[in-house]
Structure 1
């Protein structure tokens, strides 16, 4: 593979319109603005990345036993690029993969994939030392036997985690080894702060001379032209101001509307098969000692013993997932598009929750259910309490395979792209493929020796580092992230740097 970093030179004036300011739309805007391409970013809400919860980098896909090795390697590469693109958004703590004795899985069955992912990580670091963002390749994962785990239970809790063992000690103090299959596996899959990502994108795009950011603005009609698109929009500044309408001409249109991508496809006159799944994660407060890693207790999805995920934040705040229909998943919450519309229709109660928020009794009931689900394996977690409103939203999945996790972008004609990421780490890949499409239309020229000819889509290897996301310090990003968490009604801990 050619690893020479490419740069794009603008051949002629170009304006790209982006509908949707979530992870996908904001990342595309960051990449284009970083290249000096004029962008118009239109977002219906009052802020960027105001969507489904993100907490996990997926650097290797070890959360999912069911996905292919190819998807895992893709997620690894995309995660490394994402860390470099959003340098102040990562919580540097490992993830522990544990298999309860009640689960039919075998921890040893995970080892061939882990070896393959670790080998690929080593190759990427050898290719470019700047890719070493997940710790040392030799330490990408480590296995712990029952005897080693029991021995850690005799050690005092460290004040600061300085080794792999230090991260395991809180688990050893709280988990009965008889409830687990061994080995336990510690992986350098880091956490990802949604609020620090939002702060990074907001600061960078507000300051960019190449990005026009329109918040509280919704596209109402699209008209395709021979050389681009007309976008009719309606904007609402505040309750005391009448809605204003405007028409924007763009050369290229990016549909990055997340689970509402099908609505834009319908406006544009395109059909697309996709799934949409409604999900939620829950916020709990647990007074416990020690510095915790993230812990994934594998389980069969959709059953009462579905996977349980414990994600730590500062100040005793934890984010919870439970892959059952009563916790993270929802009955009839996975829906498909139809022949009449590219937009899958969620049941009305879920759509109402997305649009209007949750009732307090639902917050309490489902968060308590998540706490009880975790306490099945981690009994001390029984003392946890509701820590805030859920993080919730709908996830789109292109095609018809609900297990798909690595997806990025697809194109219609010469002037339309739809970003269809399932995981946030795929957003930069989507952005780079859009840049390649713009180059193929003659708007850009690559300032490098050659393209990556081995790649199917001939996408040049752009550096994942974005100058516009590095102009503000980690302290500035964290300060805005705290404000965003407060404005959106979440605990400050979800915005704080960890690790």
Structure 2
């Protein structure tokens, strides 16, 4: 069933302003422009998706044993939609979940949730075969007992991984079975290339006649009108140019700085902001590696360790300790005076001006040591570049929240408050539904085979049931995988990161 949206008023087409060109703002702009809605996207930096590190889909929330089953199911559905929206951004390799013997957790405790996620994936594929983007539903996860894992250690490395066993052999060659609790779990949770996402969004929005993209530009003042907003901006390049833009609807998608825009708009909102970093290393090893998650208690010296593979021996590391991915006093809350949580000055300086080389070396080495604690051969890894870093917002006061999308103020303002990138398209679709609900848009059927279909569509007079937009965007499918990869490699070079982070894998 195909649908499209059209403007209610032909005399004055709807214009939506978006502040922030991170994954939330860029994805919202992609959705709106794809629907033919005039969109103004304002981004303070010189490129899109310059925010916190992204390395995997979180398809099923398998990294987080502390979150609810409902959040896991939500993340699965959102991840499937995200793959379809960004078709050339996925690294197709599985994730291995390992419980060290030093951890109090039980691997078997994850199995009921995995069964729920598998059933939901099977249901979604049965509903729409195009949802089969995470491999075969019956193979969503597989458990390995100790005997199976030890047997894999005796097998030679395959030239290329084709099966679950193939992906696990490199880990079996390097990991002592005595250091693990079993079963070991392999999940079809794929990697996500931040640079290919950025390239996809940049190519699509630059080519779209419905998107006005303004980089190196920041909002300086907001004026609320009865029918929208005046957005005053200042451009930092090529010259300090001030402009005023009239928009009918304003989307605040400024990431961890969302509170600053809330303050300008006169709205209060409770939220957390957390500063994080991931580290780029090189390790001379053989075989196709999966991502590996070693569970551990957050914020302790034995916190979760995460090994994310890329081509050419490049590995991205997370270590959930205060000396690696987490930062002392790096989780801060808003207060009654401002909707913007205040990070310590050193972290704001790093966000604005980048890292000092000494900090890069020290914290990357801490990450290497943390991984080598569990995977001893990784001690030979070296620093391969500056960290991927940024701050993420978390609406409310629960730091374990992972599935969040959008909230609204009045009839002309939305704030996108995603914690994980896979939630961005959901947020965009809720904004579209809100615009239709307010009467700016109406749904129309392109192919109505019978009158019974009409009840599935939203009109000006009936807003009780919102039809589901296809997650596949024409705007992101116009460029080939090679074109996206080439643009992503250029972005990696421009941002001074190894090109391996932009290359296709799997």
Report what 1:463 is aligned to. 470
TM-score where L is the length of structure 1: 0.97
Q: How far apart in 2 are the matches of 1:275 and 1:417?
A: 18
Does the 8 Å CA contact 1:433/1:459 hold for their aligned counterparts? no
Report what 1:44 is aligned to. 44
Q: Which of 240, 247, 257 is the equivalent residue of 1:260?
A: 257
TM-score where L is the length of structure 2: 0.96
Does the 8 Å CA contact 1:451/1:461 hold for their aligned counterparts? no
Total equivalences in the alignment: 491
Does the 8 Å CA contact 2:272/2:399 hold for their aligned counterparts? yes
Report what 1:373 is aligned to. 370
User: What is the Cα deviation at residue 7 of structure 1?
Assistant: 2.4
**Cα RMSD, aligned residues only:** 1.1
Report what 2:222 is aligned to. 222
Unaligned runs of 5+ in 2: 446-453
Report what 2:358 is aligned to. 361
Report what 1:341 is aligned to. 338
Report what 2:115 is aligned to. 115
Q: How far apart in 2 are the matches of 1:51 and 1:451?
A: 37
2:403 matched to 1:406? yes
Does the 8 Å CA contact 2:444/2:457 hold for their aligned counterparts? no
2:478 matched to 1:481? no
User: What is the Cα deviation at residue 6 of structure 1?
Assistant: 3.5
Does the 8 Å CA contact 2:161/2:288 hold for their aligned counterparts? yes
Deviation track 1:370-413 (CA, whole Å, cap 9, x = no partner) reads 00000000000000001100000001000000000000000000
Shift in CA distance, 348/457, structure 1 to aligned 2, threshold 3 Å: farther
User: What is the Cα deviation at residue 442 of structure 1?
Assistant: 1.0
Q: How far apart in 2 are the matches of 1:271 and 1:459?
A: 29
Q: How far apart in 2 are the matches of 1:360 and 1:9?
A: 52
Report what 2:300 is aligned to. 303
Alignment of 1:388-467 (within 5 A): 388-448=385-445, 449-451=454-456, 458-467=465-474
Report what 2:34 is aligned to. 34
Q: How far apart in 2 are the matches of 1:231 and 1:323?
A: 39
Does the 8 Å CA contact 2:272/2:331 hold for their aligned counterparts? yes
User: What is the Cα deviation at residue 124 of structure 1?
Assistant: 0.1
Report what 2:150 is aligned to. 150
Other structure's SS at 2:96 match: strand
Report what 1:250 is aligned to. 247
Q: How far apart in 2 are the matches of 1:399 and 1:270?
A: 14
Other structure's SS at 1:410 match: strand
Report what 2:504 is aligned to. 497
Q: How far apart in 1 are the matches of 2:283 and 2:305?
A: 16
Other structure's SS at 2:311 match: coil
